[in-house]
Amino acid sequence: MLNVPSQSFPAASSQQRVAPAGQSGRNKVALKPGHSLMDWIRVAKSGRDLTGLRGRLIDVTEEELQKHNTRHDCWTCIRGMVYNVSPYMDFHPGGEEELMKAAGIDGTDLFDQVHRWVNYESMLKECLVGRMAVKASTALKVNIVVYTKRKLPSSGCTIVDLQDGVVRVEVLLGKMSYMLLHTACAVGKIQVSMRKAAKGKWEELGESLEFHDSLFRMKDRAIFYRECMLVSKTEVTHDTWVFRLQLPLGTLMHVPVGKHIYLKALIQDSEVVKPYTPVEETLVPATLDSTQGTAATDIFLMIKVYPDGVLTPHLNNLNIGNHLSVSSPDGPFSLRLLREVTHLYLLAAGTGFTPMARVIRLALQDLGSLRKTKLMFFNRQERDILWHSELDVLAAEDERFQVEYILSEPCDGWTGRKGRVESSMLTDFLVRPEGSKVFVCVCGPSAFTELTVGLVRQHCFSEEEIHAFQG
């Protein structure tokens, strides 16, 4: 789905917004009528041949790329992939001049300087010409490319680990797990980059290891862990912190939205394993500066510490620099569930908010069909509400987002709704406008989740319109 931010989100002060005239950054240009972002989405979905190659993907040499450097024949390269951006010229908010700066050359650095946050892979996927051809050389960087029979769902479905001299790559394909190499998004190939220990040609590539080129059901595969270092701990509420874990050198792992990971620790001679759903560093999209260098190396976990818990007191006593065993992503949630959704309803209790945080962010940034996202958030007291101020700011800045807090033990000054989840609360919350496509996500303690899912069904929502996060 294309990235369709609202007019008021990100905030006006965010570096994601184009800088005003006279300041650093680029300026917007006045687009012609019929050339808005939504118009471009319609063009991209029209089935037109936007590359001039009739659906073929080709390897592009540097010499070939340089030939396509004019207004009506403009190719550019971003992170090794080549796009024909000529059809997009009149739709680009920065104008023709900005795109032409990267005509016939590698435009990765130019792109990152201006709008690194933009999901260009979705925006320009119908303009994809192919990949840059790799020249043979004795350089320290080596690219290995493996072509597949099917397109892969996203770059986030692949995990790469280099441990003890062994490269382990897992590709998550729905309910299946495939052991192979690093994916390059939706072009039907898998690619991994490595560095040689010394210059020169390799005489041999070695032998395949056990389970290489194997396909497993997700539930049957062995859980793989890597040791991650605690680099920071930030207080969210009186008993909840965001733990920032750094992946080891040699690991590339993006946890897809809605997936969880397992933490494993040895406590009093017993192995303890618990699932946690990662969040972003903040609820609202981070600024350009704060995203650099963290996307593929850090995992953020919002964890409530229970004094009588088995694992959380151990986590709370860790020092910066200590290590934790972190698994690969797991869980049944799929972004396909949100395809063409217009109204998204989220029901969360306590730390059941954690999977909702990334769903909210994804919905407002990347779901072009979305008209409304509503969160009903249940807590005991006001001080327990996670990211309270950030949720309020987001609701104030983006009219597509709405949040309501329900407290079971409010103080005397609380003016919001009180109580626990019940059918009457959901009557006005779970509306189904004419012509809409609705979806409901539920997460919280097991008793809350079971009760709430039952109440949602009573409001005539089908199994296909409900997802309950477990854990």
Q: What is the pLDDT of residue 141?
A: 53
For residue 179, name the pLDDT band (cuts at 50, 70, 90).
low
* pLDDT exceeds cutoff 80 at 225: yes
- Domain termination site, one of 132, 149, 173: 132
CATH of the domain at 353: 3.40.50.80
Q: What is the pLDDT of residue 290?
A: 35
Q: What is the pLDDT of residue 211?
A: 63
For residue 36, name the pLDDT band (cuts at 50, 70, 90).
confident
Q: What is the pLDDT of residue 184?
A: 37
- 24 within domain boundaries: no
Tokens of 220: 């049957």
- Is residue 377 located within the same domain as residue 355? yes
Provide the domain limits for residue 459. 335-468
- Is residue 252 located within the same domain as residue 303? yes
Q: Provide mean pLDDT across the span 228-257.
A: 92
Q: What is the pLDDT of residue 165?
A: 67
Q: Provide mean pLDDT across the span 344-358.
A: 97
Element of type H or E holding 447: helix 446-458
Q: Using CA atoms, how far apart are residues 449 and 356, in angstroms rounded to an integer?
A: 14
Q: Using CA atoms, how far apart are residues 265 and 267, in angstroms rounded to an integer?
A: 6
Domain count of the chain? 4
- Predicted confidence (pLDDT) per residue in 248-257, tens digit: 987 888 888 9
Q: How many CB atoms lie within 10 A of CB 163?
A: 13
- Domain termination site, one of 104, 132, 160: 132
Which is more confident, 82 or 29? 82
- 8 within domain boundaries: no
* pLDDT exceeds cutoff 60 at 462: yes
* pLDDT exceeds cutoff 50 at 28: yes
Q: Are 212 and 177 in contact (CB under 8 A)?
A: no
- Is residue 320 located within the same domain as residue 385? no
**Of the candidate ranges 27-36, 38-47, 301-310, 397-406, the one whose mean pLDDT is the lowest:** 27-36
- Is residue 458 located within the same domain as residue 342? yes
- Is residue 346 located within the same domain as residue 322? no
Integer CA distances (angstroms), 70 to 28, 61, 261, in order: 21, 17, 47
Q: Using CA atoms, how far apart are residues 361 and 426, in angstroms rounded to an integer?
A: 23
CATH of the domain at 262: 2.40.30.10
- Predicted confidence (pLDDT) per residue in 355-393, tens digit: 999 999 999 888 889 999 999 999 999 999 999 999 999
- 311 within domain boundaries: yes
- Is residue 71 located within the same domain as residue 159? no
Tokens of 277: 């759903």
- Domain termination site, one of 327, 349, 384: 327
* pLDDT exceeds cutoff 80 at 312: yes
0.75 exceeded by pTM: no
Q: Are 323 and 408 in contact (CB under 8 A)?
A: no
- Is residue 78 located within the same domain as residue 42? yes
- Is residue 364 located within the same domain as residue 311? no
Which is more confident, 16 or 203? 203
CATH of the domain at 56: 3.10.120.10
- 62 within domain boundaries: yes
Q: What is the pLDDT of residue 208?
A: 64
Q: What is the pLDDT of residue 450?
A: 96
Residue among 217, 146, 204 nearest 180 (CA): 146
Q: What is the pLDDT of residue 396?
A: 94
**Of the candidate ranges 202-216, 361-375, 436-450, the one whose mean pLDDT is the lowest:** 202-216
- 6 within domain boundaries: no
- 25 within domain boundaries: no
Tokens of 428: 């006005």
For residue 27, name the pLDDT band (cuts at 50, 70, 90).
low
* pLDDT exceeds cutoff 60 at 23: no
Q: What is the pLDDT of residue 16?
A: 38
- Is residue 350 located within the same domain as residue 414? yes
- Predicted confidence (pLDDT) per residue in 146-169, tens digit: 555 555 555 556 777 877 667 777
pLDDT above 70 as % of the chain: 77
Identity of the highest mean pLDDT range in 44-48, 128-132, 399-403: 399-403
Phi and psi at 435, nearest 5°, equal 80, 10
- Is residue 379 located within the same domain as residue 321? no
* pLDDT exceeds cutoff 50 at 14: no
- 289 within domain boundaries: no
DSSP letter string, 243-311: EEEEPPTTEEE---TT-BEEEEEEETTEEEEEEE-EE-SSSSPPPHHHHTTTTTTEEEEEEEPPTT-SS
Q: Mean pLDDT across the chain, nearest whole number?
A: 82
- 274 within domain boundaries: yes
- Is residue 166 located within the same domain as residue 84? no
For residue 199, name the pLDDT band (cuts at 50, 70, 90).
confident
**Of the candidate ranges 27-36, 178-187, 414-423, the one whose mean pLDDT is the lowest:** 178-187
- Is residue 426 located within the same domain as residue 340? yes
* pLDDT exceeds cutoff 80 at 333: yes
Which is more confident, 441 or 107? 441
- Predicted confidence (pLDDT) per residue in 62-76, tens digit: 999 999 999 999 999
Amino acid at 331: G
